[in-house]
Amino acid sequence: MKKSVYLLFMIISSLALAQSPKPEKVKYVIIKQKVCPNQKGFQLVLKAIATDSRCPEGVTCIWAGEVSAVILVYKDSKLIEEATLVFLMKNEEYNKKWFSNYLPEKQKKIKSIVVVPYPKEGSKINPEEYYMRIGYLK
pLDDT tens per residue across span 89-123: 899 999 999 999 999 999 999 999 999 999 998 89
Residue 53, pLDDT > 60, answer yes
The closest alpha carbon to 71, from 41, 39, 48, 37, belongs to 48
Structural domains in the chain (count): 1
Q: Is 10 inside a domain boundary?
A: no
Q: Is 117 inside a domain boundary?
A: yes
Q: Is 101 inside a domain boundary?
A: yes
Question: Which band of pLDDT confidence, cut at 50, 70 and 90, is reported for residue 16?
Answer: low
Stated pTM of the model: 0.78
Burial class (CB within 10 angstroms; exposed 0-12, middle 13-18, buried 19+) of 80 = exposed
Q: Is 7 inside a domain boundary?
A: no
Q: Using the 8-state DSSP alphabet, how is residue 79 labeled?
A: E
Parent domain of 101? 26-137
Cα-based angle 127, 71, 115 (whole degrees, multiple of 5): 55
Q: Is 85 inside a domain boundary?
A: yes
Q: Is 108 inside a domain boundary?
A: yes
Cα-based angle 66, 98, 51 (whole degrees, multiple of 5): 25
Q: Is 16 inside a domain boundary?
A: no
Q: Is 54 inside a domain boundary?
A: yes
What pLDDT, on a 0 to 100 scale, did the predictor assign at position 109? 93
What pLDDT, on a 0 to 100 scale, did the predictor assign at position 20? 56
Residue 117, preceding peptide bond in cis (omega within 30° of 0): yes
